[in-house]
A and B are shown apart, each in its own frame.
Chain A
Amino acid sequence: MAQKRVLMKGNEVIAEAALRAGCRNYFGYPITPQTEVMHYMAKKMVQIGGNFVQAESEVSAINMVYGAAAAGARVLTSSSSPGISLKQEGISYIAGAELPAVVVNIVRAGPGLGGIQPAQGDYFQATKGGGHGDYRNIVIAPASVQELYELTVEAFNLADKYRMLVMILGDGTLGQMMEPVAFRDVEPIEVYDKPWACTGRGDRKEHNTITSIYIDPDTLEVKNRELQDKYALVTANEVRYEAFGLEDAEIVITAFSTCSRISKNVIRQAAELGIKVGMIRPITLWPFPSQIISETAAKSNVKAFLDVELNAGQMVEDVRLAVNGQKPVYFHGRMGGNLPTQKEILDKIIEIHNGGNN
């Protein structure tokens, strides 16, 4: 592996990673704070003979993604919260038609037009489906520019492996952040046959069709059960998280992406005060690392959990489901595009350590 490191912006690394993963199709619509993904693609895709289309809307962009995915291509779109809301129609169709695609959401503060500063208010939308119907997307939450690279490449593999939409859930902090990144010489691209793709019938005896409509209730129920079976398989195989300090932690922080970075510094500060704090950082937000949280909650050294998010408390619901009443779960969140300070989190830890209220 080449270890030459280059300084790059998060959003540009997403685009570069997609190209390295063999993605030759990008369809998007401008929105802050993810436009660098687009700018990078606008130049590079043309240079390497790929497809870049600035669509007339996010609705159109996601449907171009649907078309390219149906045609068997690796395909990417990126947007930010209000744009992702517009894409939900297409995302539901992609789930229904079981098409592989990667969607990047560099989350900004909402609701409505909200603001352009970082937030995690789209957790529910991302992890519970987002559009209409019973479906899931694989949701990946990188916490560094290096992870943006590695996990974006991985996202394309997962999308093809399971014929699912994989969402990269970042935020403005991560997208705009510049960090050193080390690119591999050779990417671990997994190649999956796509005999279902609409490529023109060619020598095939039967024509291929891509659809999400099943008028007959029994057929649609079977289709739904197949989807749920697939989601169970993904849940069994693809949960990713980072955990540390659990062996002797009194308090366990749960946080993803930007919040996990801030919290890591607080853990050191707490240790200086003699408070042992560990962390579970979900890397896949769906499938959610419920098992490790549940097992950790059962440990005698663990007294409480503190969930830190850039919202009013969304992932904390999944944490509470996993903890299932075994230990108290506290929450600290900031909204509107504000980030929690280390002091805020440390104060909360001290409060919990001193027997604070839930």
Chain B
Amino acid sequence: MAIVFQPTEGLTKKPLHYCPGCNHGIIHRIIAETLVEMGLLDDAIGVASVGCTYNSYEYFSCDFVQAAHGRAPAVATGIKRTHKDKVVFTYQGDGDLASIGTAEIIHAAARGEKICAFFVNNAVYGMTSGQMAPTTLLGQVTTTSPFGRDASYQGYPINVSELISNLTGAVYVERVCVTDYKNIMNAKKAIRKAFECQLSGKGFAFVEFLSTCPTNWGKEPVEAMDWLKEKMIPQYPLGCFKGADVDFTKADENEEVKS
């Protein structure tokens, strides 16, 4: 018998501290697998953020810098400008990227920084115990929207991928989820394409992962996956918002980035 699946060398052996069923583990793994498959592990520098993934640097076996809350795109800018031949990516949650770090992510995208931002959107603050996030759905109950998010009181969820895709500097933007085998394979393709985008030097790449937070949603892991499909995807439709038709592995300077 041959091994058809085993833990990736892109991750360390350290057991993940995430709650049972949390999607971070899947997303970590497929990013790490992609780095290994593309032969980029030794050239990659990741940037961890603040929230549940604050210590993701302990799990990835590439070099990693831990950044202040929301500042990962700025930190990644400093790293990438220093090492232009390396592959630099951020790993950020919704509080980090879509709330406190909105300026950093928007401007990194606008500058067309040659980095990848991996955005994990689970519609809630995980680490700090389930507060309302910028991406919390209308009607969703959190510890700071205990009566359900009310648009007249707490405003509307932010669709970050759509927002980012409006910026010229962002050349590849896709939203994926990891609820099942097919979607995980699709998410992996998106990760690969994001790295290919960076290697092509064409600009900023952004992949949004819809994710569950069983603990703070108060749901069993499998039930949370169903909730994601039923409730989150209507608000946050999956798909490629920019760069769908571009093959970043081809060095065609005249190729237009279609939105």
Contacts and interface: CB of A to CB of B under 8 A. Distances in A.
Interface string A185-218: 0000000000000111111000111111101000
B41 A201 contact: yes
Contact of B103 (A57, A71, A72, A199): A57
B78 A200 contact: no
Interface in B34-51: 41-45, 47-48
A56 interface: yes
Contacts of B45: 71, 198-200
Contacts of B236: none
A67 B54 CA distance: 16
A188 to B, nearest CB: 23
Contacts of B231: none
Interface in A200-247: 200-203, 207-213, 215
A209 B67 CA distance: 11
Contacts, number: 140
Contacts of B43: 200-202
Contacts of A59: 71, 74, 103-104
Contact of B62 (A89, A90, A207, A211): A207
Contact of B63 (A55, A64, A90, A199): A199
Nearest to A72: B82
B151 interface: no
Interface string B232-246: 000000000000000
Interface in B55-114: 55, 57-58, 60-68, 71, 74-83, 86-87, 103-104, 106-107, 111
A256 interface: no
Contacts of A89: 68, 71
A51 B62 CA distance: 24
B86 A68 contact: no
A298 B103 CA distance: 55
Given A55-B107, A198-B45, A211-B66, A63 B78 contact: yes
Interface of A: 25, 27, 51, 53, 55-57, 59-61, 63-73, 75, 89-90, 93, 97, 198-203, 207-213, 215
22 contacts: A25-B82, A51-B82, A53-B77, A56-B103, A59-B103, A59-B104, A68-B78, A68-B79, A70-B78, A71-B45, A73-B82, A75-B78, A198-B45, A200-B63, A200-B86, A200-B87, A201-B41, A201-B43, A207-B60, A207-B63, A209-B57, A209-B58
